[in-house]
């Protein structure tokens, strides 16, 4: 019975908040859905796989097996392997064209990484202003009740209801806005760090592909094992 009473009291408080409180509940559900989605998508291992994957891809390149390296990228799909695949697929280009291909690949990976971040920022601001609007409307209702009051004191309940609505919507607006704002800044910073790291990996691949040592492997030797067997004075 006690639980039922608490539920009824909670519903009465929600009803006291008016339609603005219902709107804030909707904003809360929306923002938390986006927060959980971003937390799942922006996991580091999903964007930038284990270092062993990268090392294996580079090992295949050194062995003179670029097609195998591309297949490895396809077997472990991620933003990083997509960028590496784009660079390896265009390895025959000169440095300028290769850099353009890699930069384009990095740009293509940006939208999914920063997706929904602007929506989180918008929900934070809108929730806060919705709570503020509830404060203004609630206090306005209270002052109207006070102005129309008489000596019987029947207007006191209307004044209390207005103040209750004002405080409830204010608190609800802050409860929704603050976690959403914190989540926005956290994910925004994480997205920037991941994008910077993807760019560094792309530039590292470019430097590797245009080095004279790698070209030597590609032009003169079948793979690194043949190079290792070659007398050093012939290299």
**Domain spans, the chain:** 19-217
> Residue 220 pLDDT > 90, yes or no?
no
Global pTM value: 0.76
Name every residue whose Cβ is closer than 8 Å to that of residue 94 and which is 6 or more positions away in sequence. Answer: none
Which is more confidently placed, 223 or 35? 35
Concatenated DSSP letters of 181-208: HHHHHHHHHHHHHHHHHHHHHHHHHHHH
Whole-Å CA distances, 142 to 119, 149, 165, 170? 34, 10, 10, 15
Q: What percent of the chain has pLDDT over 90?
A: 44
How does residue 6 score in pLDDT terms, banded at 50, 70 and 90?
very low
How does residue 138 score in pLDDT terms, banded at 50, 70 and 90?
confident
How does residue 27 score in pLDDT terms, banded at 50, 70 and 90?
very high
């Amino acid at each position: 019975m006690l639980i039922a009473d608490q539920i009824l009291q909670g519903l009465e408080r929600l009803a006291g908040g008016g339609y603005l409180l219902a709107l804030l509940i909707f904003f809360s559900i929306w923002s938390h859905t986006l927060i959980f989605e971003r937390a799942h998508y922006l996991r580091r291992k999903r964007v930038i796989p284990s270092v062993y994957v990268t090392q294996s891809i580079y090992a295949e390149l050194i062995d003179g097996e670029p097609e195998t390296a591309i297949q490895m990228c396809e077997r472990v799909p991620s933003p990083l392997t997509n960028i590496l695949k784009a660079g390896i697929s265009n390895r025959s280009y000169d440095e300028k064209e290769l850099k353009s291909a890699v930069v384009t690949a990095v740009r293509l990976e940006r939208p999914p990484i920063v997706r929904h971040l602007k929506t989180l920022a918008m929900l934070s601001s809108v929730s806060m202003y919705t709570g503020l609007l509830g404060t203004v409307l609630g206090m306005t209702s209270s002052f109207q009740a006070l102005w129309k009051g008489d000596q019987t004191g029947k207007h006191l309940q209307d004044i209390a209801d207005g103040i209750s609505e004002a405080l409830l919507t204010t608190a609800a607006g802050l409860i929704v806005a603050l976690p959403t704002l914190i989540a926005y800044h956290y994910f925004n910073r994480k997205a920037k760090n991941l994008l910077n790291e993807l760019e560094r990996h792309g530039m590292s691949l470019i430097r590797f592909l245009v080095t004279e040592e790698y070209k030597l492997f590609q032009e003169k030797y079948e793979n690194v094992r043949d190079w290792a067997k070659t007398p050093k004075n012939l290299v």
